[in-house]
Structure 1
Amino acid sequence: MPEPIKILSQHPPGGRCTLYASYAKELSSCLGLAMRVIHTDCRDAHGDGSPSLRVNGAVLQPSDGVILSAADICAGLAAAGMDLSISPDLASRLEAIHEHFLEEFA
């Protein structure tokens, strides 16, 4: 059984922490995975602190070095051996979350 999706977040969550939690909720819903939010004061984006999104123990890395995109998440899930065919519209659903985030926080 796969590990839960983990979000390392500051408390209260800021922009990227909120975005990553939204991604995780969608992943949990679409892929049937549990999710867990871990609050931390450690700031280490895409590492051992916030904001970070982990799948099967691997920290997903943004291709632009700043913020995870739908493509980054799908690539990370595929690299972790997850079968994305069970949710063919996953990428578009994650992209919609990303677009909403950019509109809200731009």
Structure 2
Amino acid sequence: MSYKDKKVITIGVVSELTGLSERKIRYYEERKLLFPERSKGGTRKYSFLDVERLVDIANKMEDGMQTFEIRKMEQKALRKQEVRERMLRGQLNAAFNIRK
């Protein structure tokens, strides 16, 4: 796991890094665009990748996109990535004659 994946940043720090209000960050979570972890005490914890994602989301919103459009785009990109990974695994299995 990369340091960028680790969920260690609090919402206050994320707000400072992105310029987004804590309320806006929570809104993006409600709209299923972001999935922070929670500490035992219930504190939201974000990763550096989450921070980058928030900036991207904010830019798209500024360009006039709606949250459901952003979510659809991200789901489509994820499906494409999954297909690519399956194809690559298949090619590697075929190249090395690996049978399941």
Shorter-normalised TM range: under 0.3
Q: Which has the higher helix share?
A: 2
TM-score, normalised with respect to structure 1: 0.26
- TM-score, L = length of structure 2: 0.27
Structure number having the greater strand percentage: 1
Larger Rg: 2
